[in-house]
Amino acid sequence: MIVAIDGPAGAGKSSVARAAAKQLGFKCLDTGAMYRAVAWLAVEEGVALDDEGALGRVAQECRISFIHDEGDPIARGITVNGHDVTEAIRTTEIDKAVSPVSAAPSVREAMTEEQRRIGRTGDYVIEGRDIGTVVFPDADLKIFLTATNEERAHRRVRQNADRGIGSIDYAEVLADIIRRDEADSTRAAAPLKPADDARIIDSTGTYIEDIIENICVLARMVQASDGAC
């Protein structure tokens, strides 16, 4: 079973996806981390971020793996070509580089193929921007998680402060969120938008636990109805 959780930056997708996967006993895939890993490698290798052909080669040839603690199906980190980039992909530099990298159709093609391969290996909660529209258009449950710009920026500042990585300047984070949403929504390849059959959940002013519970109830209902067929 695939539960797709899409939505703009800072809407709480990662926390919700991880907690819902844990409750449901599913695995969890953070596709944004994969685009960030490609962006990190492109920067590291000095690839021009407007060189679509070179970006595509980086995406096709890189080896992305997730780091798991023993027995924990939820990844605690990510490696690319053997480098642990768990923290390095969360910097302000990568926040900026990931927009042109993820807009390149050749990069999206390579990542989409890999995400489909991974998703076919078990029950997954998969979070991203185009999971319900492009990667798994037949996902069993599609959620589009959103919140106001201001709430998302506040959450991202708190998250960066907790992690000790990325900007904790509210105005800078808000501007980056607005810039990335604009880039993600207006790009030609797989733009950020809700699937026609997605349930739209606005998390503004809502307890995250309620959203997780809501998604788990929906997922169990879908599972039960599939089992009944």
> Could you give the 3-state DSSP secondary structure of residue 143?
strand
Minimum CB–partner distance for residue 99 and ligand DC (Å): 6
Residues 6-45, one symbol each (x = binds ligand DC by CB under 6 A, - = not), give: ---x---------------------xx--xx---------
Residue with tokens 């490609």: 38
**Is 176 one of the binding residues for ligand DC (CB under 6 A)?**
no
Residue with tokens 């890993």: 37
Q: How many residues bind ligand DC (CB under 6 A)?
A: 13
Pick the stretch among 19-27, 59-67, 127-135, 169-177 that binds ligand DC (CB under 6 A).
127-135
Minimum CB–partner distance for residue 73 and ligand DC (Å): 20
Query: CA-CA distance, 64 to 83, in Å (whole number)?
Result: 9
- How many whole angstroms from its chain centre is CA 124? 13
* CA neighbor of 20 nearest in space, from 34, 4, 35: 4
Strands 141-146, 199-202: pairing is: parallel
Q: Which of 98, 104, 143, 195 binds ligand DC (CB under 6 A)?
A: 98
Interior CA angle at 198 toward 196 and 199, to 5°?
A: 130
**Is 184 one of the binding residues for ligand DC (CB under 6 A)?**
yes
In this complex, which beta carbon is closest to ligand DC, that of residue 172 or of residue 223? 172
**Is 130 one of the binding residues for ligand DC (CB under 6 A)?**
yes
Paired tokens of 196: 């026609």
Contact yes or no for 150/158 (Cβ under 8 A): no
Pick the stretch among 75-83, 98-106, 201-209, 210-218 that binds ligand DC (CB under 6 A).
98-106
Q: Which of 102, 133, 146, 203 binds ligand DC (CB under 6 A)?
A: 102
Query: CA-CA distance, 184 to 143, in Å (whole number)?
Result: 17
Residue ranges binding ligand DC (CB under 6 A) = 9, 31-32, 35-36, 98-99, 102, 128-130, 180, 184
